[in-house]
Amino acid sequence: MTTYEELEHCQNQLQSLVDALDRSAIISIADKKGKIIKINEEFCRISKYTEQELLGKDHNIVNSAHHPKEFWKEMWREISRGKTWRAEVKNKAKDGSFYWVDTVINPMLDNEGKVNSYLSIRYLITDRKEQEFEIQARQEQQQATEEELRQNFEELNAIQEQLQESFLLNQAQLNAISTSFGYVEFNLDKKITKVNPIFTNWTEFSETELIGLSHKELLPQDEETESYFRNLWEKLKDGKTVNGIFKRKTKSNKDLWVFGAYCPVINEKGRVIKVIKIASNYNAQKAAELEIQSQQDELKTTEEELRQNLEELNTIQEQVQESNLLMNAQLDAISTSFGYVEFNLDKKITKVNPIFADWTEFSETELIGLSHKELLPQDEETEVYFINLWTKLKDGKTVSGIFKRRTKSDKDLWIFGAYCPVINNKREVTKVIKIASNYNAQKEAELEIQLQQDELKATEEELRQNFEELQTTQEQLQEQTLKIEEEGVYREAILENAPMMLISTDTKGIITGFNSLAEELLEYEAEKVIGKVSPIIFHDVEEIKTYTKQLSKELEEEIPLGFDVLTAKAKLNLPTKKEWIYVSKNGKVFPVELQVSTIKKDKTGEIIGYLAMVQDITERKEAQKELEKLSVVARETSNAIVITDAEGYSMWVNEGFTRMTGYTLPEIIGKKPGKLLQGKETNFDHVLAIREGLKSKKPFTQEILNYDKMGKKYWLELSVTPVLDNYTGEITQFIGIETDITKRKKDEEDLKRLSVVASKTSNSVVITDAKGYIIWVNEGFLKLTEYSITEVIGKKPGALLQGKGTKHKHVLAIREGLKSKKPFTQEILNYKKYGESYWIELNVTPVFDEKTGEVIQFVGIENDITTRKEGEQLILEKNKALQTSEEELRQNFEELQATQEELQRQKIEVERALRELKSTQSQLIHSEKMATLGQLVANIAHEINTPLGAIRSSAGGIEQTLIETLPTLPDFLSSLPKHELKIFNDALKMSAECQNSLSSREQRALKYDLIDKLESYKNLQYVNRFADLLVDSSLYKDTEMVNAILKTQNPYSLLETVSHISSIIRSNQTIQMATERASKIIFALKNFSRQDQKGIKEKTDINKSIENTLVLYHNQIKHGIEVQKELSDIPQIMGFPDELIQVWTNLVHNAIQAMKNKGTLTLKTKIKEENVIISIADTGGGIPKEIQSKIFDPFFTTKKAGEGSGLGLDIVKKIVEKHDGKIWFESVKEKGTTFFVEVPIVRIYNEVI
């Protein structure tokens, strides 16, 4: 490739990149004063200003006044210093609407390194910002909830001051949330399904003993408890919460008093699915009450004192009860959804609840006594924060917010919560409690957004560099670029590869481009239409005339009949997508969807032609018609259709249902069909079968006897299909289709009675289906033919009974009789199972379907006429003996000749069928292979584009560096003193060997650090650029080398030259690695896609073919699948290499899909005796047992429609058997599946297909 061609290729690539950026981003260029000097169309579209309104203005024209002045001052400070500035900005469009953009402003420097203009690249992020605002609103709502919680605690403190002694008790309960509340879950059978250790400790049972225990077994056993228990569960099942003080029994039959609440859990349908109980131990309070009662008994001597004590006690109890109810409601919410911690004033943890312990990965024992500081990140910033936090807390101030903590395994733990000082009556802080919620999920979302922003910034930096390169070469190649654009290079590539018809024209409507798909569908050759005709010839004339009138009215101007009808809207930048009728050269008419766009010159915007994108929508139209037919069928079908909800209550029935049952839609709505339609003679087993079918969540069919509205019995065949929710997988509806089979059932009964008669007759009786396959025979048939029932069912009588003596004319006569659809009689010679011949007189009667009039069965009655035929044969033989020998020879010759011709005809037919079968099999294998290749093409394209991108970028960098460096390099090197030349060589070697693995953020941080250090060198020019070069060349790692460079006469020039030349070396290494990678991919793709034409086995390296297959799937497996290879040193085998690759490709593809792109893929090869065994294993969900016997069947697939043909494993099996091998598999549910292929090692002959 010449230098001009390379530059031209580079220009094309860069122009494509700029075009893509121009279409996806909002771009503007401003002069150094901020005045807009250039914008793209996207800027105008989003801001709703015209180009004339924007040019010469500054960006205040779209200022929304949302950001403070300091925001913009900071921007100008950054960009005026030559630094890139990035921020999210809220702008205001011309119509007053607001929009958000992610803005990057890059200063553009002149040759002296001074800013002369600013390039702004913006991406629309309005949708993302709206989501962030929604998240922020939720956070504010959560903060409000936290504030409400804090206020609740202040109210709690006030209550504690009033209740004096009860204050201490209640405060102790509050401070011991995690160690005083028991938790129990019950199912609706009133049995325990889950408990926490606190509750097990109270009841003296172990957790294992409690799980499955009935709730009733924990209650006192008396009549009062029985009534209480029944009423309690009635309320709970009605969704009502029940709280209070409850008496229970422990394992040792002790009384256990608890204060708590039973809370029903209600699903989204409003149904109770389980009950949870949260309770505190009330034994201490109960003991206190009993103690008070005892004291009251002792003080009975003073009635007034007793009354006063009782009044005081009742007052205290009411206050305690009210306090407990309030606190328990609060504690109920806290203990089940918030983390809780207590600290003493030494900043050490004194209490935690299980939720907080679970977050930190510590046990509760490990946390007690742990310093608060040990849960915080260990850095200087944390030290300052820690001191300030505890200063505020000891001053009695509440501190809330989002906090970062560390878990036991040193992971980040983000929490949202509040530190609340506990203040006693003396207004002294006695301890600190912390209540928090887990904020990890929100933080991960924030970090994910930040990561995406960082990646976007890196992409934008790369785009900026490409844009600068483009500007450097654009003026030099402008003339060539315009020429290339005019020649339509890109349009030709698009026309030939697009998945739709693409037809380009000049401004006068003459066709200039006509792709291969257009040739195929329109049946015109490109060379016959390009430059000669207008695409108007493909349209229906009347349709063009009609649309011309319609368009003229719509645009309010006269549109001339002809090509302008197709382009009028495109000229006005209006949507042009419309359905048309196309007519091919040979008169084929088909519907299309046509969209016309203009082709413009990049610089002037002048329209130089039009591009028509045409999609054949025949299949879409046919699908619409099919859907309309189905809707008509649902209304008009004679079958009954009923739709019920998930509980079986009717929602809709069609008119067929009303005709069949007599019930109208209003009469059936809200009722279960079975309740209305089943009667005393309905078989209960059939009812149970329907119920089981409904529970299975699968389609099923069941026959059942029903009764209509007037009480008349009728049989129906019920086909039920469940409708499942796409998200939950739960049933939302059932669709039932009912077919009246009353007559069929009567016919079956009649047939049953007839079969009894037929089975008792001495004649032979046989019944076949319409195609002649036996479905029933009587005992007379079995006795006559000596076959068993299993040997004849599903066979054709002729195939079993006719033999060498059977006359062909008799066979033909039977065939003609069957075709006539009329009763007939025919004599024929048959043979018994063991070869004995016998004559029968066959009487055949067809059975017709009453609705369609088509034959559905044939009934044959066979009379044994062997004795009669033997007598006839004896007479015939005597008559033949009287004929001359010449006549016998003539007849024998004619029969022999007829037989020979028939055999020759059959031989030719068999050979032709065999050739077609082999051709079809070869095409099928190749077709399946190409289908697999089609699934891989996107991944392969990505795999090839990645190294090509690296080559393109590296080559561009080498070219630019050589242009800048080569002219001055000889003079520069000759000017260096000897010791500086050595420094130059050492630095160049060191830089070329180093790999810079720093991220963009790390590079910026390092650069700023280096600038600070280099400021001390007063004579050093371009400090910022010098720091950039140190980072780019990786020389910053060696302090001695940096110092040596700084001591040279011109350190900046020396370092810049080292950086340029080392970048060439590293770019060359990148090109070599990328070329090797692309070569491997192309080699694997070439081997995979070739189709064997020789049909001859050749030596094949199995390990190599497996490796090639993995190369094709590299992009799919690299992001979630671990590949383990154990490929033994095995000899080559004789085989068909391209077909074996098809085997590995199909098995690997199935394995990836079975694992849903996450798991372990294991490939092994080994030698066993004279065979090679290949195994391919996945860690997917396994193959269900019920389908394991079917997976090699043709057209069997478990994939959705359109995702698989069901031929993959059938073809694999045929290929393996073609290699004299075998294939099998082993599968374990939830562990995975392994496929094994065994093929012989060597065959010394060639097998011709």
User: How is 267-307 classified by DSSP, letter by letter?
Assistant: -TTS-EEEEEEEEEE-HHHHHHHHHHHHHHHHTTT-HHHHH
pLDDT tens, residue by residue, 336-375: 557 889 999 999 999 988 888 888 899 989 999 999 888 8
Report field, pTM of the whole predicted structure over 0.85: no
* Per-residue tokens: 38: 């250039």
Instruction: Give the model's confidence band at 176: pLDDT under 50 very low, under 70 low, under 90 confident, else very high.
Output: very low
Nearest-5° Cα angle at 167, 164 to 168: 105
Secondary structure (3-state) at 1039: helix
pLDDT tens, residue by residue, 590-600: 999 999 989 88
pLDDT tens, residue by residue, 1043-1064: 888 888 888 888 888 888 877 8
- Element at 615 (helix H, strand E): strand 607-616
The fraction of the chain above a pLDDT of 70, given in percent, is 75
pLDDT tens, residue by residue, 811-826: 999 999 999 989 999 9
The end-to-end CA distance of the chain, in Å, is: 45
DSSP category for residue 560: P
DSSP category for residue 559: P
Reduced 3-state DSSP string for 204-241: CCCHHHHCCCEHHHHCCCCHHHHHHHHHHHHHHHCCCC
User: How big is the chain, counted in residues?
Assistant: 1249
DSSP category for residue 188: T
d(CA 1078, CA 1111): 10
Residues 713-746 as b/e (b if ≥16 CB within 10 A, e otherwise) read ebbbbbebebeeeeeeeebeebbbbbbbbeeebe
Q: 763: buried, middle or exposed (CB in 10 Å: 19+, 13-18, 0-12)?
A: middle
pLDDT of residue 10: 43
pLDDT of residue 7: 41
Single-letter amino acid, residue 1026: F
Instruction: Give the model's confidence band at 468: pLDDT under 50 very low, under 70 low, under 90 confident, else very high.
Output: low
**Which residues neighbour 1155 within 8 Å (Cβ) at sequence distance 6 or greater?**
1121, 1161, 1178, 1179, 1180, 1232
Single-letter amino acid, residue 296: Q
* Per-residue tokens: 1038: 């060696």
Across 23-50, average pLDDT = 89
Which range in 481-485, 928-932, 939-943, 975-979 is most confidently predicted, on average pLDDT?
Answer: 975-979
DSSP category for residue 1096: B
Which residue, among 186, 215, 182, has the nearest Cα to 199 in the 3D structure?
A: 182
- Measured CA to CA in angstroms, residue 482 lies from 21, 470, 526 at distances of 20, 15, 26
Indicate if the alpha-carbon torsion angle 205, 208, 213, 215 is positive or negative.
Answer: positive
Indicate if the alpha-carbon torsion angle 1143, 1149, 1151, 1154 is positive or negative.
Answer: negative
**Residue indicated by tokens 């309010």:** 556
Query: How many CA atoms, within 13 angstroms, populate the side-chain half-sphere of residue 37?
Result: 10
d(CA 834, CA 791): 13
- 361/753: higher pLDDT: 361
Evaluate if residue 758 carries a pLDDT over 70: no
- Measured CA to CA in angstroms, residue 641 lies from 717, 718, 879 at distances of 12, 10, 71
Please give the domain boundaries of the chain with CATH numbers for all domains.
3-124+448-452+463-485 (3.30.450.20), 488-618 (3.30.450.20), 637-740 (3.30.450.20), 757-874 (3.30.450.20), 883-1088 (no CATH), 1092-1240 (3.30.565.10)
pLDDT tens, residue by residue, 1156-1207: 889 999 999 999 888 999 999 999 999 999 988 888 887 677 766 445 556 7
Residues 248-284 as b/e (b if ≥16 CB within 10 A, e otherwise) read bbeeeeeebbbbbbbbbeeeeeeeeebbbbbbbbbee
Secondary structure (3-state) at 640: strand
pLDDT of residue 2: 47
- β-pairing verdict for 192-195 and 181-186: antiparallel
Nearest-5° Cα angle at 91, 87 to 94: 160
Instruction: Give the model's confidence band at 241: pLDDT under 50 very low, under 70 low, under 90 confident, else very high.
Output: confident
d(CA 87, CA 105): 9
- β-pairing verdict for 1121-1127 and 1159-1168: parallel
Across 1090-1116, average pLDDT = 76
pLDDT of residue 331: 47
User: How is 1173-1196 classified by DSSP, letter by letter?
Assistant: EEEEE--SS---GGGGGGTTSTT-
d(CA 768, CA 800): 14
Which residue, among 673, 721, 682, has the nearest Cα to 703 in the 3D structure?
A: 682
* Per-residue tokens: 721: 């299909």
- Measured CA to CA in angstroms, residue 1189 lies from 219, 247, 1148, 1182, 1217 at distances of 55, 60, 20, 14, 18
Q: 642: buried, middle or exposed (CB in 10 Å: 19+, 13-18, 0-12)?
A: buried
Evaluate if residue 942 carries a pLDDT over 60: no
d(CA 818, CA 798): 13
Instruction: Give the model's confidence band at 928: pLDDT under 50 very low, under 70 low, under 90 confident, else very high.
Output: low
Evaluate if residue 675 carries a pLDDT over 50: yes
pLDDT tens, residue by residue, 683-700: 999 999 999 999 988 999
Query: How many CA atoms, within 13 angstroms, populate the side-chain half-sphere of residue 1064?
Result: 15
pLDDT of residue 315: 56
Which residue, among 342, 505, 331, has the nearest Cα to 420 in the 3D structure?
A: 342
Evaluate if residue 904 carries a pLDDT over 90: no
- Measured CA to CA in angstroms, residue 626 lies from 367, 582, 623, 633, 736 at distances of 68, 22, 5, 10, 21
Contact by Cβ (8 Å): 190, 230: no
pLDDT tens, residue by residue, 657-671: 999 999 998 999 999
Instruction: Give the model's confidence band at 163: pLDDT under 50 very low, under 70 low, under 90 confident, else very high.
Output: very low
pLDDT tens, residue by residue, 458-467: 766 765 676 5
d(CA 329, CA 241): 12
